[in-house]
């Protein structure tokens, strides 16, 4: 079974600065997807960014980018120019690609609570 580990329960960053959230995972599979979801106080789960394991190029979405190190099984999220609206719980998630029907579940980490300091 796959596991996802987020070793930073809480992080804080000054507004406009850059912060990196860590995520590691354990799998024996070669093809999979990785995701970062954001959960603001409303508790809705919002997709931030996604990465296909076979792609060497790191995904980027505006101020959000990842550092995907497949050999090290590491998938960190970098938030540049942090804004007050970025304050939330951030979850790293893994999705296998083995199922013929493609209906694989997401396995989540325990989350990192990000605080933005004005």
Min dist. Cβ of residue 102 to other proteins (A) = 4
Buried b (16+ CB within 10 A) or exposed e, 62-86: eebbbebeeeebebbbbbeebeeeb
**Residue 13's CB: how many other CB atoms inside 10 A?**
18
Query: Residue 110, interface with other proteins (CB under 8 A)?
Result: yes
**CB closer to other proteins out of 63 and 105:** 105
Is 102 among the residues that bind other proteins (CB under 8 A)? yes
Q: Which of 22, 33, 74, 78 binds other proteins (CB under 8 A)?
A: 33
- The minimum distance between CB 17 and other proteins, in angstroms, equals 27
Nearest approach, Cβ of residue 85 and other proteins (Å): 17
Least CB distance to other proteins at residue 13 (A):
22
Give CA–CA dist 27/61, Å, rounded.
26
What contacts 115, CB < 8 A, 6 or more positions away?
Answer: 10, 11, 12, 13, 87
Q: DSSP 3-state assignment of 47?
A: strand
70 binds other proteins (CB under 8 A): no
Binding stretches for other proteins (CB under 8 A)? 33, 35, 37, 42-47, 50, 52, 91, 93, 95, 99, 101-111
């Amino acid at each position: 079974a796959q596991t996802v580990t987020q070793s930073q329960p809480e992080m804080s960053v000054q507004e406009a600065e850059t912060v990196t959230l860590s995520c590691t995972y354990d799998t024996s599979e070669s093809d999979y997807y990785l995701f970062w979801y954001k959960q603001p106080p409303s508790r809705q789960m919002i997709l931030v960014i996604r990465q296909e394991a076979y792609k060497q190029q790191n995904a980027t979405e505006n101020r959000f980018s990842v550092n995907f190190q497949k050999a090290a099984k590491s998938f960190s999220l970098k938030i540049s120019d942090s804004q007050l609206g970025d304050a939330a719980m951030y979850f790293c998630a893994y999705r296998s690609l083995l199922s013929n029907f493609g209906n694989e579940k997401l396995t989540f980490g325990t989350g990192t609570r990000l605080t933005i300091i004005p």
